[in-house]
Amino acid sequence: MEPAEARFRFYAELNDLLPARKRKERVQVYRFYGRNTVKDAIESFDVPHTQVDLIVVGQQSVTFDYILRPDDYISVYPVFESLDISPVTHLRPAPLRHPAFILDVHLGKLARLMRMAGLDTLYRNDYKDAEIIQTARGEKRIILTRDKGILKHKVVTHGYWLHATDPEKQFVEVLKRFDLFHELKPFTRCIYCNTLLVPVEKHLIENRLQEGTRKCFEEFKQCPGCGRIYWRGSHYERMKQRLEDLIRQAQKEE
């Protein structure tokens, strides 16, 4: 028995997710027997379903449950940033009203930048995939990862595969992809544990300060989670400048 064939065309940045040997091919051939869903076919090309916003067969949009037919020609589109596609099938749940994130174990430097910008960002260097998925579902968080495998889990609804490998470029990519410019509240979170900072009276933490800090600064914040103390010293000015440069870069590339 000969297998049936369906042909897939992946658009824009979805091509970056394809195996290297397939990226030069305009049309991808998928061979199958029996009943196969379009979701299974798409993920066989190493494209996680969370990265797909629209699937068109012929001139009709379909859902991930669509059963392939021999000789189907299927167009697969990524997330649309400026085009309103609400009149046609939207495959993923609506964007989260208050974006919050959970990052995989390889993204510690990105987590630090996101927390510095005031974005709600969970991260630990010992997370297991199952814990990331469970937390993302329970707390309505978006998974950020460089591991396509975790985004292929059926229960994952909000996730994004980062194209960049450099943490600063990843930060710019996340700001643009999720349009976070109005969500930024720099230096309101602990960069170590993500807890919101609170003002603290100097006399309550004075015994923990070095002599130079006690003499030069009067305003402090403290993390209720891990107890770390923050103040606007030279380190603050350097981080502030770095953050502002990255935000401007992201806005410029819009």
pLDDT in tens, 33-69: 999 999 999 999 999 999 998 999 988 999 999 999 9
Residue 197 lies in a domain: no
* Residues 137 and 180 placed together within one structural domain of the fold: yes
Kindly state whether residues 113 and 182 are assigned to the same domain: yes
Mean of pLDDT values over 192-215: 94
Q: In this predicted structure, what is the pLDDT of residue 253?
A: 73
Asked whether 80 and 55 are in contact (CB, 8 A), the reply is no
Is 71 contained in some domain?
A: yes
What is residue 21's predicted lDDT score, i.e. its pLDDT? 86
Q: List all residues 6 or more positions away from 80 whose beta carbon is below 8 Å from its beta carbon.
A: 53, 54
With 70 as the cut, is the pLDDT of residue 88 above it? no
On average, the pLDDT of the chain sits at 91
Confidence of residue 82 (pLDDT cuts 50, 70, 90): very low
In what side-by-side order are the strands of the sheet with 159-161?
121-122, 101-103, 142-145, 159-161
Domain residues for the domain of 148 are: 101-186
Q: For residue 226, is it within any domain?
A: no
Q: Is residue 253 in some structural domain?
A: no
Residue 33's CATH number: 3.10.20.30
Task: pLDDT band for 205, please (50, 70, 90 cuts).
Answer: very high
Regarding whether 74 and 10 lie in a shared domain, the answer is yes
Domain end marker among 186, 203, 234: 186
pLDDT (0 to 100) of residue 114:
98
Name 230's bridge partners: 221
Both 57 and 118 in one domain: the answer is no
Q: Is the pLDDT of residue 141 over 80?
A: yes
Residue 93: inside a domain = no
pLDDT computed for residue 187 by the predictor: 96
Asked if 63 and 137 sit in the same domain, the reply is no
Does residue 98 register a pLDDT over 90? no
- pLDDT band at residue 223 under the 50/70/90 scheme: very high
Residue 70 pLDDT exceeds 90: yes
Structural domain includes residue 209: no
Residue carrying structure tokens 């923990």: 208
In angstroms, the Cα distances linking 44 to 12, 40, 185, 236 are 18, 6, 40, 46
| Residue 238: inside a domain | no
Q: What is the mean pLDDT of residues 94-104?
A: 81
Examine the domain organization and report whether 66 and 22 are in the same domain. yes
Same domain, 50 and 126: no
Domain boundary among 137, 169, 186: 186
- Do residues 105 and 45 both lie within one domain? no
The structure's pTM equals: 0.80
Query: What does the pLDDT read at residue 199?
Result: 96
Residue 76: strand pairing partners? 10, 55
Residue 163 has pLDDT above 90, yes or no: yes
129 is a domain residue: yes
Domains: count for the chain: 2
